[in-house]
Amino acid sequence: MTYSRAFERLVDGREDLAGLIAYGLHKLDKRSERERRRLQGLPDDPAAMSTWVDSLPQPYWTLLKDRSTRALDAIAEEVVHQHAPSIREEARRGGIFTAAWQGVVGNLTFLLLFLGLYGLLVLFGVPIPSLRIG
C-alpha cells in the first residue's frame, strides 16, 4: 500500500468525517483525471498521477473540505427536519417542563433539608458563627 499525501492533507483523524468525505471527493476527482488522461493519450501511471496531485493548488484542498462540510450540514438539517415532529411532540408532552419542574423540586428539597439542619443546630445550642463582616 502506498502512502497518501492527499489523505494527510485532508483527514485530521478517525473522527474527522468532513476530512474523510473530502478524501473520497478527491479520489473521485483523481479517477476522473486518470480517465481524462487515458482518453487524451497522456500517461496515467502512478508517477504521473502523483505529479498531478502535487500540482493541485491549496484552494482545491480547501474547496474539498468546504464541500464535504456543506454535505454533512445538509445531512444534519435533513435529519432534524425528519425528526422535528417527534421533537415538537416530546416538548409538547412536557419533556422540557418536566426537567424544569424536577430542578425546582430538587432545589426546594435541598432548601428544606438545610433549614431543618439549621433548626436542629439552633435547637441543640450549637453556636453558629455570624457572617457579618466589619
Question: What's the sign of the alpha-carbon dihedral 26, 29, 33, 39?
Answer: positive
* Residue 131, pLDDT score: 59
The three cell numbers of residue 127 are 453556636
Q: Which residues touch 133 (CB under 8 Å, ≥6 apart)?
A: none
Query: What pLDDT shows up at residue 22?
Result: 95
27-55 pLDDT tens trace: 999 999 999 999 999 999 999 999 999 99
- In the chain, the N- to C-terminal Cα span, in Å, equals 77
pTM for the whole structure: 0.60
Rounded average pLDDT per 10-residue block, the chain, 134 residues: 81 92 95 95 92 93 94 92 84 71 90 89 79 60
Domain ranges, ordered by start, for the chain = 5-93, 94-134
